[in-house]
Amino acid sequence: MQNIETPYYLCDESLLENNLKILDDVQKRSGAKIIVALKGFAMFATFALVSKYLKGCSASGLYEAHLAKEEFLKYNSEAEVHTYSPAFKESEIEAIAKISSHIVFNSPNQLNKFLLKTKEINPKILVSLRINPEVSSSPKDIYNPCGLYSRLGTTLSNIDKESLNRIDGLNFHALCEQNVDALEEVLLAFERDFGIYFKNLKYINFGGGHHITKKGYDIDRLVCIIKDFSLKYQIDVYLEPGEAVGWETGYLVSSVLDVFENGMNVAILDTSAEAHMPDTLAMPYRAEVRGAGVSGEKKYTYRLGGNTCLAGDIMGDYSFDEPLKIGDTIIFEDQIHYTFVKNTTFNGIKLPSLVIKRLDGTVEIVKEFGYEAYKSRLS
Ligand SMILES: *Cc1c(COP(=O)(O)O)cnc(C)c1O
């Protein structure tokens, strides 16, 4: 990989396949169907592989649904496209209805507005309402769909019983990077408040945020819960993880551009926390650097920062066994999910290339970005 110009994200398909096998094991043992949430992982050059295991895509609107149709259904024409938006637009609903096998409305308002039209365009489409179960132990407000005054999903008091007779399923999404105990807590409230409506439904979608592929996730318990739920209500269960698909499947490779001292050692990299690793600032969390320790753990500590003019464009303080030199490679671990689906060209910084290490070991640069990627969005 020495000759690939930094910065680049590298997704390793053998690691991705490990995750897909874990998810497939959940499908096989529990009977649930798992679809990938494109919001978190949408590297479609891997979809030949992903579509061997997962049953389709969860799309957050027209463009993600379109991507699912173009790039996932070509490998499996039976694959499902479940499309949800906080609010659908009049101008897009026809196209969305055509592409989607399942549509999820956020409110009774939206359902009443678009249901007839949606079914007219796609008589086979299955319709769901997103519920806000009003219980979540999501670690951060920015990622808590059940927080105060949430706009995501319908609460019990906003349920209109008429619309419940017209739908095929219910969705909830209330977790973020959580284990199965958090799901159990949500399910308890969901069943308590909405269980009486399950009778005529075909499916319940448990959303995403299940950290199934993380070490320590209690997979046996998840399987057990899904099986019990399906049996009890005679209903199909879906999961739609994004993060768990791309979890620890690759990294972001950058180079040291400059090193100096200003009260502490500072290194400037040819990447950016703000533009290329946005969740590290939004969550925030500290990305691991290969071979590095926390501040002071190893002999030489540096503050690693990005190549933009934002003062806070800082990855953090890391320590190394040897002093950093200009040209050294710095590898940020686990930078495949929620990175290039949301990176930017802020400050005119070059977008990292997209690289895939295929199952047979070959390394393929699938995309490089130049000046046009920056300019094309500005005028
Ligand atoms: C974000 C989101 C997901 C995926 O969440 P992960 O945390 O990436 O698993 C699934 N469903 C909905 C409705 C979402 O908004």
Kindly report, residue by residue over 267-288, the tens digit of the pLDDT.
Answer: 999 999 999 999 999 999 999 9
13-245: in CATH 3.40.47.10: no
Cβ atoms of residues 60 and 84 within 8 Å: yes
Q: In the chain, where are the structural domains located?
A: 13-245, 247-375
pTM score above 0.95: yes
What is the Å distance from ligand 1's center to 57 Cα?
11
| pLDDT tens readout for residues 193-233 | 999 999 999 999 999 999 999 999 999 999 999 999 999 99
* % residues pLDDT > 90 (the chain): 96
For atom 2 of ligand 1, the residue with the nearest CA is 208
**In ligand 1, which atom is closest to the CA atom of 84?**
13
State the distance from the centre of ligand 1 to the C-alpha of 324, rounded, in angstroms. 38
For every residue of 49-78, which 3-state class applies, written as one string? Answer: HHHHHCCEEEECCHHHHHHHHHHCCCCCCC
Contacts of 375 (CB under 8 A, 6+ apart): none
Q: Which two tokens stand for residue 179?
A: 């284990």
User: What confidence tens digit (pLDDT) does each residue in 80-107 have?
Assistant: 999 999 999 999 999 999 999 999 999 9
Alpha-carbon distance values, 262 to 257, 302, 316 (Å): 16, 11, 15
Token digits for 136? 């979540």
CA of 247 to the centre of ligand 1 (A): 13
Crossing angle between the packed helical segments 180-194 and 219-233, to the nearest 10 degrees: 10
Contact 194, 131 (CB under 8 A): yes
Rounded distance, CA 37 to CA 240, Å? 6
Atom of ligand 1 nearest to the CA of 171: 13
In this structure, the number of other CB atoms found within 10 A of the CB of residue 372 comes to: 8
247-375: CATH, from 3.40.50.300, 1.10.1050.10, 2.40.37.10, 3.50.50.60: 2.40.37.10
| Pocket, ligand 1, Cβ cutoff 6 A | 37, 39-40, 58, 84, 173, 176, 207-209, 240-244
| Alpha-carbon separation of residue 214 from 22, 209, 240 (angstroms) | 10, 11, 16
Looking at ligand 1, which atom is closest to the CA of residue 177?
7
Which class for 89: exposed (0-12), middle (13-18), buried (19 or more C-beta within 10 A)?
exposed
Percent of the chain beyond pLDDT 70? 99
Q: Ligand 1, from 41, 43, 58, 336: best to mutate by most atoms within 8 Å of Cβ? A: 58
